[in-house]
Amino acid sequence: MNERASNQPEHQPAAAISDQYNLRVCVHRGARQIGGSCVELCCEGKHLLLDIGLPLDSDGHDPAALPDISGLDAGNRSLLGVVISHAHSDHCGLADRLPKETVFLMGAATERILAAAAEFTPYGGKFENVIHLEDRKPIELGPFQIVPFLMDHSAYDAYSVLIAAGGRRLFYTGDLRAHGRKGKLFERLLRRR
């Protein structure tokens, strides 16, 4: 286990980018360890999570594995959605522990993979409220504009996302590579085509 409790953010969100632009970013996990990725964006009193991964050193049953984030409890409408970048448990392994009314944003194939995996592993799941990510097709969700970019990764249907909110932009890579079967997607991203 890390020295810090796994539910403690790695950075405090107070002015992580700038309050002037009304966008705050808090990396709860994923900056100082591999796995357990979870980044929170806040704008205009609304929250968006980028991945809700299971830490690699957790068995998934530890209540501390779920970060202490506003909106992860039922009935709190400040959490607008959770982007799942791809179907590896270190990016989506805690998704099944969120309230059933949670909105998830993921690729259509990722949704099918997680539903099929639910039969064989505790990290899959079937979700009721899903918005499908499609390559370079913008999604508006409250104050957030989300533009997904299909990426090359060992997980099929992996996405990076560009988030715009409060006058600022943030690019979240999830996991990507440039050397795989779909490495041209990475080259296309660099050329902005």
Find tokens 């979240």 and name the residue. 172
Structure tokens given for 184: 């041209």
Distance CA 111, CA 100 (A): 15
Contact criterion met (CB below 8 Å) for 46 and 23: no
Most distant CA pair in the chain, distance: 47
Residue with tokens 């590579």: 177
- Report whether 99 contacts 74 (CB < 8 A): yes
Sign of the four-CA dihedral 131, 150, 139, 173: positive
Nearest to 52 by CA among 79, 74, 76, 77: 79
d(CA 15, CA 1): 28
Helix, strand or coil for residue 138? Answer: coil
Q: What tens-digit pLDDT sequence spans the chain (193 residues)?
A: 334 344 445 444 434 444 555 899 999 887 887 788 899 999 999 999 998 888 887 776 676 678 888 778 776 788 999 999 878 777 778 888 888 899 999 999 989 988 888 888 777 788 999 999 999 999 999 999 999 998 876 677 889 999 999 999 999 887 665 565 665 666 666 676 5
DSSP code of residue 54: P
User: For residues 15 and 24, is the Cβ–Cβ distance under 8 A?
Assistant: yes
Cβ atoms of 18 and 6 closer than 8 Å: no
Query: What CA–CA distance (Å, rounded) separates 86 from 119?
Result: 18
pTM metric for this prediction: 0.81
Q: Are 163 and 90 in contact (CB under 8 A)?
A: no
Q: Provide the pLDDT for residue 190.
A: 65
In this structure, which CATH number among 3.40.50.720, 3.60.15.10, 3.90.180.10, 3.20.20.370 belongs to the domain 19-191? 3.60.15.10
C-alpha span between 148 and 172 (Å, rounded): 10
Residues in the chain, how many? 193
